[in-house]
Amino acid sequence: MSYQNIIAEHEDHLGFITIDRPKKLNALNMATIKELHDAFVTLNEDQDIRAIIVTGSGEKAFVAGADISEFADFDASQGKELAAKGQKELFDLVAGLSTPVIAAVNGFALGGGLELAMASHIRVASTNAKMGLPEVSLGLIPGYGGTQRLPQLVGRGKALEMITTGGMITADEAYSYGLVNHVVPQEELLSFCEDLGNKIARNSPIAIGAAIKAVNANYDPSVNGFEVEIEAFGNCFGTTDFEEGTNAFLEKRKPQF
């Protein structure tokens, strides 16, 4: 996979996506969002890939926001189109992938960067990470799902504080809020995420995809999450992974999914 703004690769059962615009602190422009879309789709369709790790190049930033120069002269209709296209093309796509996505947050995760991390299924931050949604300082609000996903993770009060002040929080604060799952030294960040990805890779990919779908249903007011769970649970019984998993358990061996 060859791209201009990102690096996408895979090793064994893990996929890796690195946003590679260090001079722009890995800011998201339209071209980068398109490349991220293509890379996530490609890795998700590869049946050998059991988890995807997304990070930023360098030690300063995961993603330090959107590329403001691209939309500084937009009008209201163009702004709506920008948000709608970005949410569909990348952020909602990531949240709905059947392959778990681990965000390795190395440094600044601001604006669209934090929104990308929140769309990911698991977040691990380096100790030097700083997170925030500073859009109100530009006369904007988060437009890539931030007003929806942040309250789901940290609660309404903390989310409104972060959004209305536009301030940054530390990795330890993010952990205490429930915004990230783990905080580790920067030099251990990728290896920690790889270990986490390998733990995921040992389990049934079919069951994991069903679990992600069921959990996501809880946040969709148009569906009954309990019904989605029942349907997905039942469907698991008709899979080869269920057959392998139960046989391995009864035979006292590790399953080979």
- pLDDT tens track for 126-158: 999 999 999 999 999 999 999 999 999 999 999
Name the residue with tokens 């778990």.
Answer: 100
Q: pLDDT tens-digit profile of 96-110? A: 999 999 999 999 999
- pLDDT at residue 53 is higher than 90: yes
CA-based Rg of the chain, rounded to a whole angstrom?
Answer: 19
Q: 3-class secondary structure for 55-108?
A: EECCCCEEECCECHHHCCCCCHHHHHHHHHHHHHHHHHHHHHCCCCEEEEECCE
The answer to whether residues 155 and 97 touch, using CB atoms and an 8 Å cutoff, is no
Percent of the chain topping pLDDT 70: 100
Could you tell me the end-to-end alpha-carbon distance of the chain, in angstroms, rounded to an integer?
26
* C-alpha closest to that of 51 among 199, 180, 215, 153: 199
State mean pLDDT over 44-58: 97
Q: Is 2 a residue whose pLDDT tops 90?
A: no
Whether 115 is catalytic is yes
Quote the distance between the C-alpha of residue 249 and its chain's center. 32
Catalytic position from the list 9, 59, 81, 115: 115
The secondary element (H helix, E strand) that includes residue 182 is strand 182-184
Average pLDDT over residues 199-216: 98
**Class of residue 149 by CB neighbours under 10 A (exposed 0-12, middle 13-18, buried 19+):** buried
Query: Phi and psi of 66, rounded to 5°?
Result: -90, 165
Q: In the chain, which ranges are continuous DSSP H helix?
A: 30-45, 76-86, 92-96, 112-119, 146-154, 156-165, 171-177, 189-201, 205-217, 225-236, 240-250
**Residue 59 pLDDT level (bands cut at 50, 70, 90):** confident
Mean pLDDT of 58-81: 94
Q: Tokens 């040992």 sit at which residue?
A: 202
Q: Residues 135, 161, 188, 194: which is the catalytic one?
A: 135
**What is the rounded CA–CA span in Å between residue 57 and residue 78?**
30
| pLDDT for 1 beyond 80 | no
The pLDDT of residue 9: 96
Average pLDDT over residues 243-254: 96
What pLDDT is recorded for position 89? 97
Confidence of residue 25 (pLDDT cuts 50, 70, 90): very high
Provide the pLDDT confidence category of residue 91 given band limits of 50, 70 and 90: very high
